[in-house]
Amino acid sequence: MKKIHTLMIMVTSTINLNVKLQFATHLLLRLLLHMPRFTCKCFSFVWNRTTTRNTNNTLALPQTFSLSAPLPQWPQGQGFASGIVSLGEIEVCEITRFEFVWSSSDTIDIRKSVAFYKPVGIPDGFRVLGHYCQPCYKPLRGFVLVAREAEASKSESTEIRDSDELPALRNPLDYTLVWCSNAGGKEVSNGSGYFWIPLPPKGYKALGYLVTHKPEKPHLDEISCVRADLTDICEPYRATFDASSVIPEIPFQVWSLRPSDRGMWGKGVSVGTFFCSSYWIKGEELPIACLKNLNSMLPAMPQLQQIHALIEHYGPTVFFHPEEVYLPSSVEWFFSNGALLYRKGTTMGEAIDATGSSLPVGGTNDGEFWIDLPNDDRREFVKRGDLKSAKLYAHVKPALGGTFTDIAMWVFCPFNGPSTLKLGIMSMPFSKVGEHVGDWEHFTLRISNFTGELWSIYFSQHSGGKWVDAQDLEYVDGNKAIVYSSRNGHASFPHAGTYIQGSSKLGIGIRNDATRSNLYVDSSSQYEVVAAEYLGDAVSEPQWLQFMREWGPKIVYDSKTELDKIINALPLRLRSSFENLVKKLPVELYGEEGPTGPKEKNNWIGDERW
């Protein structure tokens, strides 16, 4: 009890009178009931903001990012780029204008700091669902959704739900203070940061937090909670702030959020808010949710004419390495120049017509069929591809519950060249390891269905990849980004450079070199839309897209022989260490089957691997 009494004195001596009782209650419950989950924790220290101040001592907010070229007038059609998206009983609007509330910026490393904002310019009738945060060092660019009950839902309420059904949106009953940066004592400029989570009524969910710079609770009408059946589960995605990086004793963290139900048919809708806690344990259910799109019509998705306009406006230029030997081609060129279809148990391949009509369709990758290069003198010629015929094959699909559109752009190369092993400052090219017939790689444009604005691009890199925000891309013409394709392996990267697939920390792995050259494909003009399932029969899928087997034979590399040569060339004192590091190298060094086509990949229907 003495310990409890001491801690209570600490709290009451540092907290403003208006929140004193609340903190004491939370702390007492934690000590007596051992429930360190989403309780509040306040600490009396001053955040240093000098790195974000102008000479006149006012806070220097980051510049707002905007694309370099204005958006065109998109072709009219349904609800795409109309500013509002219907999710069924509620409609949402994307807010990208913000007012600064509080920042954690410090003089040590501004890259570890975040700023918190409240949305402004909210249309009449829409309600705030939560505040926004982002790193201080980046240009201000983000969104939060605001919501209102749909007019159709109100007028048809007697048909779609019982008369005593709960409304879609309601004010919270109260707020709980989750954390504050400075429980009392000296006030710092711009105030301290107070983080509040709404206490939702029974049958409702909170979707975000409010951040204030004073200890008084926000008004109950500053935020809305959403009826639980209109929400979905979300999950922490990336830690954006960790208070322990400034003071190790403070276990407060902030994460960005993403829906758990993602992919082409996923209904989870990102609200753009954040999650914060001092005691969250990975795997625990969050106290907040995301939205769920219950409108199966997906009215905000672009129609075919709008898809073409988007690709023509945003289609990236894909640059290949100046020393690239194995260039892309169209699928039709590959088939017309001698590609063969093989069946298990036979030694003779069958010719494939330009459209791929002779290929078996459907089924699974059962090993019964595969495609290979011609077995005559055209083999080496076909390996090198044909840049003139090359095009990007576009798969258009809903993302984040139909509030965004993903345009996955697939590129085909007849051959994937051998790998180069990087050992610190040394590079050792393999003669065969890493080679395979038929190489499918892709990148994906993510576009807001509220405005038609490019939001980010996913760069596929062998078995993984990453999303890169629009402000971090390079552009070659207007709003057309640059995609760098790595030499031999054709992985996609946002910037020129040398990338390691393996252990970048140790500098050991497969080397991926990417840079600009006069070898490129302009996807804004050299493309074909091959699939858009949500449009029904509007897009006719090519026959070859239905081939679910491998686009190359199985190859077993004699990697041991090549690696032994490298090991034997090393000084004796380094050999044992290198042998241990070999285990960290990518699995494709030890064997590779020809890749399957785009439609057999799990990210055709599912979300990208992030």
Q: Could you tell me if 311 and 527 are in contact, meaning their C-beta atoms sit under 8 angstroms apart?
A: yes
Q: Select from 292, 324, 343 the last residue of a domain.
A: 292
* pLDDT band (50, 70, 90) for residue 507: confident
The closest alpha carbon to 491, from 520, 516, 462, belongs to 462
Angle between helices 559-569 and 572-582 (to 10 degrees): 150
Whether 132 and 82 map to the same domain: the answer is yes
Reply yes or no on whether the pLDDT at 406 is more than 80: yes
Q: Is 110 helix (H, G, I), strand (E, B) or coil?
A: helix
For 359, the token pair is: 């290929």
Average pLDDT over residues 257-268: 98
Does some domain include residue 593? yes
pLDDT score for 12:
36
Reply yes or no on whether the pLDDT at 73 is more than 80: yes
Q: Is 588 helix (H, G, I), strand (E, B) or coil?
A: helix
For 507, the token pair is: 């500098």
CA-to-CA dists, residue 39 to 196, 235, 289, angstroms = 11, 19, 18
Percent of the chain at pLDDT exceeding 70? 80
Q: Is 116 helix (H, G, I), strand (E, B) or coil?
A: strand
- How confident is the model over 310-337, as pLDDT tens digits? 999 999 999 999 999 999 999 999 999 9
For residues 250 and 358, the model is more confident at 358
Does some domain include residue 112? yes
How many domains does the structure of the chain reveal? 3
- How confident is the model over 140-181, as pLDDT tens digits? 999 999 999 998 665 544 344 544 589 999 999 999 999 998
Whether 161 and 260 map to the same domain: the answer is yes
For residues 33 and 237, the model is more confident at 237
Whether 202 and 347 map to the same domain: the answer is no
Q: Select from 242, 267, 292 the last residue of a domain.
A: 292
- How confident is the model over 201-222, as pLDDT tens digits? 999 999 999 999 999 999 999 9
Domain that holds residue 72: 50-292
| CA 125 to chain centroid | 31
The pTM score is: 0.88
CA distance 452 to 82: 9
Task: Give the type of residue at 358.
Answer: S
Reply yes or no on whether the pLDDT at 283 is more than 70: yes
Does some domain include residue 248? yes
Whether 88 and 120 map to the same domain: the answer is yes
Does some domain include residue 605? no
List the beta bridge partners of residue 119: 98
For 449, the token pair is: 């269905």
Does some domain include residue 76? yes
Q: What is the largest CA-CA distance in the chain?
A: 89
Angle between helices 2-14 and 20-33 (to 10 degrees): 150
- How confident is the model over 475-488, as pLDDT tens digits? 999 999 999 999 99
Whether 372 and 433 map to the same domain: the answer is yes
CA distance 191 to 194: 9
Q: Could you tell me if 40 and 178 are in contact, meaning their C-beta atoms sit under 8 angstroms apart?
A: yes
Whether 198 and 124 map to the same domain: the answer is yes
Mean pLDDT for the chain overall: 85
Q: Is 275 exposed, middle or buried (0-12, 13-18, 19+ CB in 10 A)?
A: buried
Does some domain include residue 607? no
Beta-sheet strand order (sheet of 231-232): 231-232, 290-292, 268-269
pLDDT score for 564:
72
List the beta bridge partners of residue 120: none
CA distance 534 to 499: 36
Q: Is 52 helix (H, G, I), strand (E, B) or coil?
A: helix
Whether 369 and 434 map to the same domain: the answer is yes
Specify the DSSP class assigned to residue 471: G
List the beta bridge partners of residue 140: 64
- How confident is the model over 2-24, as pLDDT tens digits? 444 443 334 333 334 343 444 44
Strands 350-351 and 317-320: unpaired
- How confident is the model over 427-478, as pLDDT tens digits? 878 777 778 899 999 999 999 999 999 999 999 997 789 999 999 999 999 9
For residues 84 and 184, the model is more confident at 84
Say how many CA atoms lie within 13 Å of 396 toward its Cβ: 26
List the beta bridge partners of residue 330: none
Whether 431 and 504 map to the same domain: the answer is yes
Whether 272 and 343 map to the same domain: the answer is no
Whether 339 and 264 map to the same domain: the answer is no
Task: Give the type of residue at 92.
Answer: V
Q: Is the dihedral of CA 54, 60, 65, 66 positive or negative?
A: negative
Reply yes or no on whether the pLDDT at 592 is more than 80: no
Burial 566-589 (b: 16+ CB within 10 A, else e): beeeeeeeeeeeeeebbeebeebb
For residues 438 and 582, the model is more confident at 438
Whether 15 and 60 map to the same domain: the answer is no
Reply yes or no on whether the pLDDT at 97 is more than 60: yes
The closest alpha carbon to 490, from 423, 436, 451, 432, belongs to 436
Whether 150 and 120 map to the same domain: the answer is yes
* pLDDT band (50, 70, 90) for residue 280: confident
Q: Select from 292, 313, 337 the last residue of a domain.
A: 292
- Left (φ > 0), alpha (ψ -120 to 50) or beta: where does 362 sit? left
- Left (φ > 0), alpha (ψ -120 to 50) or beta: where does 130 sit? left
Q: Is 525 exposed, middle or buried (0-12, 13-18, 19+ CB in 10 A)?
A: exposed
List the beta bridge partners of residue 362: 547
For residues 42 and 116, the model is more confident at 116
Does some domain include residue 507? yes
CA angle 582, 587, 592 (to 5 degrees): 130
Contacts of 496 (CB under 8 A, 6+ apart): 484, 514, 515, 516
Does some domain include residue 314? yes
